[in-house]
Amino acid sequence: MNDNYQFTYQSKVIILLTVASCLLVLVLYPPSWWQSDTIRGFFASILATVASLFLFYYVDPRTKRPDHEAELRNAGFISVSTNRSFGPGYWIDLLSALPTSEEEAIFVGKRLTDWREAPTYSVPLKAALIERSKRARECAAIGKYRTTIIVEDPDSYSRWERFINPILNGDTNGRIKLVKAPVDSIDYAITICGKRMTVVHYVAGRTTPDNPTLDVLFGSSVWNLYITDIADTRDWLLSLNEA
């Protein structure tokens, strides 16, 4: 059923007023008054029509309203919007598993400026990376607690080095890898942390600060597509950086 046919707040108010008016007429209009049966029958018909409307709207499967959340999940997403509309709370919560998740955490983008420079994000990110690198040093399995940060802009790369160096303090066992990507080689920004994945697709020549953003459902086919794609990109970039 199309969204245009859903009950709005205004339509619900009108329906409630209509029902109240009909009930008042049926209860208060004296049977002895002129054309009482006709008037009472008219308002009873209106009341029956409203009841039928609700009955068919909520019961008849042909008019079943769509469950947008279920539709999104079936498609492999939790939500789809723009990066700014998600709000700071969403992005901070995205980091919640960073200190403890054994799986590789990946940050990819052209500059990733907000993660590094905006205190709202940089403070919790730095604290999470400090705890994560500590766990990495204590863990003998070298494949766990890895963090890969990929940026394209050369100046941002240098700034990320300055951001990460105090966290690692010269110890590569912290398993934080900063990778430089060739200019114009990154099609989308992505953050993967534990069972969370958010993808920001660059549009308009990558000049707009607000872009289409996907909150991807863990384990979905879409999740697996991005995991495979970004892993291939990471391996390719690592080979370039090591050459």
pLDDT tens, position by position, 50-80: 776 666 666 555 555 566 788 888 889 999 9
Considering its fold, how many domains does the chain have in total? 2
Mean pLDDT confidence for 149-154: 95
Same-domain pairing of 97 and 177: yes
- Give the model's confidence band at 4: pLDDT under 50 very low, under 70 low, under 90 confident, else very high: very low
Residue 6: band (very low, low, confident or very high) from pLDDT cuts 50, 70, 90? low
Asked if 196 contacts 97 with a C-beta cutoff of 8 angstroms, the reply is yes
The domain that contains 192 carries what CATH number?
Answer: 3.30.870.10
Q: For residue 54, what pLDDT is reported?
A: 66
**pLDDT digits over 177-234, tens only?**
999 999 888 889 999 999 999 999 988 766 677 889 999 999 999 999 999 999 999 9
Region 123-151 average pLDDT: 95
Residues 204 and 171 in one domain: yes
Residue 107 in contact with residue 113, Cβ under 8 Å? Answer: no
- The two tokens of residue 188 are 């989308």
CA-CA distance, 105 to 176, in Å (whole number)?
9
**Burial degree of 1 (CB within 10 A; 0-12, 13-18, 19+):** exposed
Q: Could you list the residue range(s) of the whole structural domain that residue 22 is in?
A: 3-63
The predicted structure's pLDDT at residue 8: 63
**Is 73 found in the same domain as 59?**
no
